[in-house]
A and B are shown apart, each in its own frame.
Chain A
Amino acid sequence: MNTHMTRRDFLKKSSLVVAAAALPGKLNIFNASLVLAHAGTSFKPHAFLEIATDDTITVWMGQTNLGQGTHTGIPMIIADELDAPWEKIQVRMALAAEPFKSPVWHVQVTGGSSSIRHRWDMLREVGAAARGMLVETASEKWGIPPKKCVTKEGKVIHPDGRSLTYGQLAKAAGKRPVPENPPLKSPKDYRIIGTQRNRLDIPDKVMGKTVYGIDFTLPGMCIAVVARPPRYGAVSRSYNAEAAMAVKGVIKVVPLENRIAVCAETTYAAMQGRNALEIKWSDGSHPDLNDDTLDALYKAHLEKSGAVAQKSGDVKKALAGAAQTIEQSYKLPYISHAQAEPINCTAHVEKERCRLWIPTQAQTATQLTASKLTGLPVEKVEVMTTPAGGGFGLRGEQDPVEDSVLLSKTLNRPVKVIQSREDEFANDCFRPASQCRIKAGLDKGGRLVAWSHKVAAPSVMSRKMPQYVKNNIDSDAVSGIRDMPYSLPNLLVNYVMVNLPITVGWWRSVGYSVNVFTVESFMDEMAHAAGKDPIQFRLDHMKKGSRPYNILSLLAEKGGWGSPVSKGRARGVAVTSCFESFAAHMAEVSVSKKGKITVHKMVCALDCGTAVYPDAIRAQAEAGVVMGLSVAFYEKVSFANGGVKTANYDDYPILTMSEVPDIEVHIARNNLKAGGIGEPVFPSVAPAVANAVFRATGIRLRELPFKRELLIRG
C-alpha cells in the first residue's frame, strides 16, 4: 500500500474534499475542495475524505496505525454514511495537521482509546455531509428535489433508474457549501458499520511490505544510536571516541547534553560504535536505588496520609459503625511497554522546513518539539506517521524526536535514530509501580457501607501535563478507584505521590491497569467476607440496569457462572469501567500443588457502545487477555545500583503460546456512542485470575506478578 502522497498529487486532482476542524467547543466540517482550488503552497487543510473524478475514494488518516484496526474502522464509518462501495475505499496516512486533532483534547494523538470514541459524530458527519453534497449536485442537474434521489454503492440514483457516480459528481459537488448538521443514518440502515471486513493493512503486513519507522530510509541518511546514562543522574566521565570512529562505517561521535550519539552508515556500525565508546559513567544521584529500597520507600509512603482525591460521606464514622471491617494491602510493579519495534525517528532538518518520519502516537507534540529545536514555525514541521510496531502508550515520548532533529542539524543530512532493545528497557517510561491499602466495612446484611483506599504511586501527569496536577493529586493515579462502578455511600480515596527519578509514562489503560486489580480483588475479598456470591455481591452494589450491571450479567450468562466446573477448577470474575466502555472477565483456572496456575479459559464480555468493527474488537479483546495474563504472571522491571537492571527480554519474560488459554469474546449489542476498546479490555484480566485462584485454593494473591511460592500446598 502506498501510504505517501505528495502535496502536488493531492492538489492536482479535481475532487470533492471534505475536512473537519475541531475548534475548542465546536466541530466544523468544511469543504476543502474550494480552499484547495485557491490554495497557496503553504496551506494544508488535509482532509478526511476525498472523492476523485475517477471514483476513487480516499480516506486520509490522522490516527496512528498500531495494528488496532482503526485504519479500517474509521473508513468503515465514513463509507457507511457516504453509501460508498467498500471496494473503492483506499486509506492514506496524512501528514500531521489541524483537522486531525481530537475534538476533545485538541491535539493529534492516538491514545486513550480515543480514535473513534472522540470522533463518533465527526466521522459520520464527514460521510453524511459529502453524501448530501453529491445528492444536491445530482438533483440540481436533473431538476428534481434532492429528496427524490437515493444513494447506493457510490451512485446517486434518479427515480427513473438513471444514475451518476460519485466520481462524475465530484467536481461540481466540490463547489457546494457543506450542509450543516447533515442527517445521519439510523443504525438499522448501517451496511458497513458492525459488519465483517478484512483489515486493509493486513495483506501488506503478511507479504512483508509494510515500512515501519525503523525500516524507513532516505538518500544520504545516516543512522544514529544514542548512549544514555545507565543510572539516574549519572554523567559521563570519559569515553573513547577514537575507538568508536575506528569502527568501519562510523561517521561521527556527537556528544549531546548528558548523552552521546554515534552516527554511522549502517545500524550495525552505529551499534558497534556505541559499544566501542566504553563510556565511564558516574554513580548517579540515587546509587542506593534498587528493588528492596524501592519497596521500603513505597511502604513508608503508605504511612503518610496523602491528599484527598475523592470523598463522599463519612468513611471514618461508617467504618466505626460497621458490623465487620477488613483491611489489606496490595502491590504492583513497574512494567515495561516492551513493544516489538524499537523506538526510532528519522529527521531531515533543512533551512526552510523540517521533515520527520516517525511511528508516533503524538503528532502535535512531535511538531512542537521539532519546531522548538529548529526555530521553524510548526507549519514548517512535516510529520509523516509511519506504521508502528506496537506502542501501548510509549510512542508519545519525545526523546527520539529531539535526538534525530539535533543530529540532523549537526550533520546536515537526514538522520534516523534507533534504540537498541537494551536502550528500550533502560529508557522506557514505565507503567508506575504502586502500593495501596484498602479498608472497607460491611453492615449486618453484608452490604458495603464504606471504602477507604490509599494509593502510593508516582505521577505520570506531573511529568506529561503538570498543569492538571492540583493539590498534589494526579487523578490518573487513582482512576478506577474514584470512579469504580459501584455505588458506595461512603468513599475516601487518598493519594500519596511518590517522587523518584524513575521515568513513568502512559501504559495501556493508564491508572486502570493498576487500580482495577486492587479494587476488583478487594471486592472479591469483601464478597467472601459477606458470604456472598462474587457476581451477586458486585451486582448488589451497582445500579440495576446500568451498563456495568448489564455487562456483568452478560458475562455471568455467557460464561456459565452458575454451571458446574470440572474437578480441580474454579472461576473468578472482575469488571472494568473505563474509556466509555465496560468490560468484564471470567477466568477458569486450576492450581497444581506446586503452585502452578493454569488458565484454561477466559471469557470476556464487552460493551463498547456501537461495535463499529467487530472483528477488530474481538482481536483487541483477545490481545487484552494475553497481555493481562502476561502482566499477571511475569512482568516486572527490576532496578539495581541506581538504575534499571532489566536489560532485555531474557529478564523480562512475556507470556507465550502454551499459556494462552481459550478465549471467548462476547460483544454487547447496542446503538450507543462508540466507546474505547484497546484499553478497557485489559484491566480486569489479572484480578479475574486472582479471584479464580482464591476460589480454587483459598489463597489470595495480592501482588503482581503472582508469586507462585504462595500457592505451594502440601
Chain B
Amino acid sequence: MIVLNVNGTKRQVDAAPGNPLLWVLRDNLGITSVKYTCGIAECGMCTVLIDGQARRSCVVNVEDVLESEITTIEGLPENHPVKVAWIEKQVPQCGYCQPGIMLQTVDFLSREPNPTEEQINNEMDHMICRCGTHPRIKKAIQMAAEMTAKQGG
C-alpha cells in the first residue's frame, strides 16, 4: 500500500511504486479530471501541482511524490481566481485540456504574478489545446493575475 496526499487528504492506494502518477490518480483514485492525452510529457493535459509546482503526471513515478502534496483541479476552491477567470472569459470548448492548463497557470502566476504577454506566450507554448481556445486562455490568465493582485496575493 502506498499513501498519497491528494487535495489535502491522505489516500491509500494499491499500486506499484513505479506506476505513473497519472494512472494512479485516474485508475486507482478515480480522479479523472487529470487527463491522459499523449503519455509522453508533450501536451500538458495531465498536469497536476506537486508541492505547488506544475508537473506532468504521466511522467512522474508515484514513488517520487509520496512525501508531497498533490493538487488536482478539484483541490482549488471554486472561487479561485483562475477558475473564476476561466468562467468569466468562457474559455473551454471541449474542456479536456483545461484542468491541466489551469493548474499550469496557478503555478505560473505564483512565479510571475504580473506576467507580460511574452511571458504568457512562453509559459503556455508547451501546452496543447486542440480546440484552439488560446485567445481566451490568454485573457483569462491576465484576468486571474489582476484578481490575485487585488486580493493581495
Interface residues of A (CB under 8 A from B): 66-69, 198-199, 201-203, 205-212, 214-215, 217, 248, 266-269, 338-342, 387-392, 420-421, 615, 619, 622-627, 630, 648-650, 654, 656-658, 660, 663
Contacts and interface: CB of A to CB of B under 8 A. Distances in A.
Contacts of A391: 94
B72 A648 contact: no
B112 interface: no
B95 A202 contact: yes
Contacts, number: 167
Contacts of A624: 132
A390 B94 contact: yes
B132 A626 contact: yes
Contact of B135 (A208, A388, A389, A663): A663
A268 B92 contact: no
Contacts of A387: 94-95
Contacts of A630: 132
B126 to A, nearest CB: 7
A433 B35 CA distance: 31
A619 B38 contact: no
B58 to A, nearest CB: 10
6 contacts: A212-B96, A266-B28, A267-B36, A387-B95, A619-B136, A657-B134
Given A206-B87, A208-B99, A267-B27, A657 B32 contact: no
The A interface, classified by DSSP as helix, strand, loop or mixed, is: loop
Contacts of B43: 340, 649
Contact of A67 (B37, B93, B127, B137): B93
B59 interface: no
Nearest to A68: B93
B21 to A, nearest CB: 11
B120 A657 contact: yes
Interface string B63-103: 00000000011100010000100110011111111110010
A205 B74 contact: no
Contact of B90 (A268, A615, A656): A615
Interface in B121-140: 121-122, 124-138
A69 B92 CA distance: 10
* From A207, A339, A392, A615, residue with most partner B Cβ within 10 Å: A207
A576 to B, nearest CB: 17
B33 interface: yes
B153 interface: no
B110 interface: no
Contact of A654 (B87, B98, B128, B138): B128
A214 B37 CA distance: 10
Nearest to A665: B135
A608 B152 CA distance: 44
B102 to A, nearest CB: 7
B39 A266 contact: no
B95 A389 contact: yes
A206 B125 contact: no
Contacts of A69: 93
Contact of A625 (B38, B102, B132, B137): B132
A392 B86 CA distance: 23
A268 B96 contact: no
A639 B143 CA distance: 44
Given A198-B90, A207-B73, A626-B132, A648 B96 contact: no
A217 B130 contact: no
A67 B94 contact: yes
A267 B26 contact: yes
B109 interface: no
Contacts of B38: 421, 648-650
